[in-house]
Amino acid sequence: MKSDNKIEELMEGLFNKDKRALSRIITMVESDKPEYYSILKEIYGHTGKAYRIGITGPPGAGKSTLVNILAKQIKDRGNEVGIVAVDPTSPFTGGALLGDRIRMTGLLKDPHIFMRSMASRGSTGGIARTTTHVADVMDAYGFDVIIIETVGVGQLELDVAGAVDTTVVVLVPEAGSSIQAMKAGLIEIADIFAINKADREGAETLKFELQDALSLMPAIKNKGWDLPVKLTVALDGTGIKELVDTIYTHKTHLEDTDHLNTSRMNQKKVNIIEIMKHRIENQLWLNPELEPTLKRLSNLSMEGKIDPFTAANTFLKSAKVLNVNIDASFLHK
Amino acid sequence: MKSDNKIEELMEGLFNKDKRALSRIITMVESDKPEYYSILKEIYGHTGKAYRIGITGPPGAGKSTLVNILAKQIKDRGNEVGIVAVDPTSPFTGGALLGDRIRMTGLLKDPHIFMRSMASRGSTGGIARTTTHVADVMDAYGFDVIIIETVGVGQLELDVAGAVDTTVVVLVPEAGSSIQAMKAGLIEIADIFAINKADREGAETLKFELQDALSLMPAIKNKGWDLPVKLTVALDGTGIKELVDTIYTHKTHLEDTDHLNTSRMNQKKVNIIEIMKHRIENQLWLNPELEPTLKRLSNLSMEGKIDPFTAANTFLKSAKVLNVNIDASFLHK
């Protein structure tokens, strides 16, 4: 009861734009504990107003600096901006590697920009889910624009791309040929390319190569959006105004073509699926009560005494004791 | 019946070291169709002999060339070598981007080296599972060493690292500071670092920085293995002998410390879980019969009429009609 009152108080704070309440609610939501799901249930009706921008790209592309200056420019156009920065954590060192973050602390003094750094704890599985939930809290608070920054070109980035309205992929001139960019799966998730550190050699070449490659892809054209390639130098601000303009143009494009609705319905779908995945995992292979069964089956499998399909079948059957009943007969099909 | 006979014939071919049978069985297994699960069930008792090496790193690090020369050296030490190369596919272009592969075709003429290129089809979800299954087929065929090559630093690489005995992470001198390497989660999955293209500037610096960072991580030391950093130039063969030696040293280390057993039990566990995930997905959110329900719930969620937890709950309840019965009461906890 006491705890419920506390949450209620914090929620009131959130809707009254109290940054301390915002921070504490984010911490609760980020902890991903079931006792805080009530928060997410309550804020739900208050989301959907913020425009969500994803910034992703390989390590060393200057994303943090770019996010910093983007946030300032978007603020200067009359918006409140929330930032979620996902930093992969080393399970060995135990903490997030926040070296890059230090230079962003300047933002913390700007009342219209709020930055939250999240550690991914080495697992990307749940991060897209909690990132979305943290963005939902920021949305309910009333930020006009939310920027989500992730590092890399992996599953997390694909997932985050499915959770935002506009995805900006940041490359550097050294990224090499456009083939490499395609191999990394970047073209699939990008709405806009930014070649950052464009004062270095190779920026124009990469731009032309990318545009060339893109012109050969009819499916991209069918999205009704010619994927723009922008040159930026985040450190001195070159090209940032144009990049922000392009983000706004993409926003207008989504709104005009009803793509925004489709995209947002998909964002919700992804979130619902992520919640289901998480719950099923916790009831099955992450369930401590079933751990000995899984270990025994893995051992039998290693010894060649049971094939992995039969092992999966056996495990799902044994899970019934916990009121989990998945039809395992398909394994025999 | 006819199809069963055909599979039986192919299996006989596989165990008699017929490369054509090997190729066709891999194609079947890669297709991930339930009718071919019987193949995997049958080969299971014949796996566990091959030593599995994972090679991963960012695009452009020269992994293909490195895998090429590594395979030759390992062959020269009296082994048959199988290679599985996972190429991310562009869903837009529809095919794997095999530019890098062309120079590897030389290998195809070597009777002791067998290369198979797999397309990831833009989704990393199932790729770790099918990659493992393809490696299992190669294992049953009788390759002594299997090399699995992946591109990137994402979830797939984490998954593949959990499916091999030794993981070599390939970097280039331009990879920048060791902090960047840590951020990309590479240190967590590496057993050995190879700084390729080491004739370029910055190789020695990166090596020292990496070694410095590693020396500060007591947890890595507790694995009983000092993570080595090797310099290579795959194009001219510099450092390759030393890299192969280091891989063998790691193999001996794993065998001597019983880590190999632990690692392999874990590989089986991961594979069993991947099979379960795949099946559950197909019965729930990827099930076409449940698609309208999921769409309706996503719409309600977008309109703010239902929170995603209740939506997940409702979906799982409606799945009961298909004999899928997951306890949804936890959502109310």
In a domain, B274, yes or no: no
| Interface contact flag, A88 B304, Cβ < 8 Å | no
**Do B197 and B218 share a domain, yes or no?**
yes
Q: A213 near A190, Cβ under 8 Å?
A: no
Q: How far is A300 from chain B (nearest CA, A)?
A: 9
Tell me whether 0.95 is exceeded by the ipTM. Answer: no
Q: How far is A225 from chain B (nearest CA, A)?
A: 14
In a domain, A279, yes or no: no
- Name the residue in chain A with its Cα closest to that of B312: A272
In a domain, B272, yes or no: no
In a domain, B155, yes or no: yes
Where does a domain end: A231, A256, A274?
Answer: A274
Residue B77 has which token pair? 């030490």
On the question of pLDDT at B72 being above 70, the answer is: yes
**Do B185 and B306 share a domain, yes or no?**
no
pLDDT of residue A61: 83
**Do B37 and B53 share a domain, yes or no?**
no
**A140-144, B115-119, B120-124, B208-212: range with highest mean pLDDT:** A140-144
Which of B34, B97, B330 is closest, CB to CB, to A333?
B34
Instruction: Read off the pLDDT of each residue in B318-329 and give the average, rounded to a whole number.
Output: 60
**DSSP assignment of A87-154:** E-B-TTT-SB--GGGGGGGGGGG-TTEEEEEEE-TT--TTHHHHHHHHHHHHHHHT-SEEEEE--SSS
Where does a domain end: A254, A274, A294?
Answer: A274
pLDDT of residue A320: 66
Instruction: Read off the pLDDT of each residue in B285-299 and give the average, rounded to a whole number.
Output: 92
- Name the residue in chain A with its Cα closest to that of B297: A269
| Interface contact flag, A97 B183, Cβ < 8 Å | yes
Q: How far is B292 from chain A (nearest CA, A)?
A: 12
pLDDT of residue A223: 64
CA distances from residue B282 to A193, B29, B34, B287, B291 in whole angstroms, order as listed: 34, 18, 12, 5, 11
**Do B288 and B252 share a domain, yes or no?**
no
- Chain A residues in contact with B40 by the CB 8 A cut-off are 307-309
pLDDT of residue A319: 76
**Do A12 and A138 share a domain, yes or no?**
no
Which CATH number belongs to the domain containing residue A146 in this structure?
3.40.50.300
Could you report the per-residue pLDDT of A291-318, keeping only the tens digit for each? 999 999 999 998 888 888 889 988 988 7
In a domain, B322, yes or no: yes
Band (pLDDT 50/70/90 cuts) for residue B331 is: very low
On the question of pLDDT at B333 being above 90, the answer is: no
Band (pLDDT 50/70/90 cuts) for residue B92 is: very low
Q: A103 near A85, Cβ under 8 Å?
A: no
In a domain, B235, yes or no: yes
**Do B39 and B55 share a domain, yes or no?**
no
pLDDT of residue B152: 61
Where does a domain end: A234, A250, A274?
Answer: A274
B189 CB-near residues (< 8 Å, 6+ apart): B56, B157, B158, B161, B167, B169
- Chain A residues in contact with B122 by the CB 8 A cut-off are 185, 188
| Interface contact flag, A307 B40, Cβ < 8 Å | yes
**Do B148 and B228 share a domain, yes or no?**
yes
How many domains does one find in chain B?
Answer: 3
- E strand spans, B14-102: 51-56, 81-87
Q: A114 near A71, Cβ under 8 Å?
A: no
Band (pLDDT 50/70/90 cuts) for residue B233 is: very high
Interface test with A, best of B200, B221, B268 (most A CBs within 10 A): B268
**Do B87 and B4 share a domain, yes or no?**
no
Interface test with B, best of A90, A136, A215, A330 (most B CBs within 10 A): A90
pLDDT of residue A100: 43
Identity at A1, one-letter amino acid code: M
- Name the residue in chain B with its Cα closest to that of A298: B269
Instruction: Read off the pLDDT of each residue in B66-75 and give the average, rounded to a whole number.
Output: 95
- Chain A residues in contact with B125 by the CB 8 A cut-off are 155
**Do B59 and B16 share a domain, yes or no?**
no
Average pLDDT across each block of 10 residues of chain A; the chain has 333 residues. List them in order.
76 95 93 83 90 86 91 96 77 40 56 86 64 94 95 65 89 68 67 94 88 71 78 95 98 92 90 88 88 94 88 83 54 42
| Interface contact flag, B59 A180, Cβ < 8 Å | yes
Which of A41, A156, A276 is closest, CB to CB, to B315?
A276
Q: In which domain, by residue range, is B41 found? A: 1-45
pLDDT of residue B102: 43
Instruction: Read off the pLDDT of each residue in B83-94 and give the average, rounded to a whole number.
Output: 61
- Name the residue in chain A with its Cα closest to that of B42: A307
In a domain, A268, yes or no: yes
- Name the residue in chain A with its Cα closest to that of B218: A92
pLDDT of residue A243: 98
* DSSP state for residue B32 in the 8-state scheme: T
Q: How far is B200 from chain A (nearest CA, A)?
A: 14
**Do B95 and B226 share a domain, yes or no?**
yes
On the question of pLDDT at B222 being above 60, the answer is: no
**Do A103 and A146 share a domain, yes or no?**
yes
Q: A143 near A82, Cβ under 8 Å?
A: yes
Q: A68 near A32, Cβ under 8 Å?
A: no
Could you report the per-residue pLDDT of B138-182, keeping only the tens digit for each? 999 999 999 999 876 556 666 777 889 999 999 888 766 555 555
In a domain, B249, yes or no: yes
Which of B93, B269, B298 is closest, CB to CB, to A269?
B298
Band (pLDDT 50/70/90 cuts) for residue B185 is: low
pTM, two decimal places: 0.79
pLDDT of residue B1: 46
**Do A161 and A208 share a domain, yes or no?**
yes
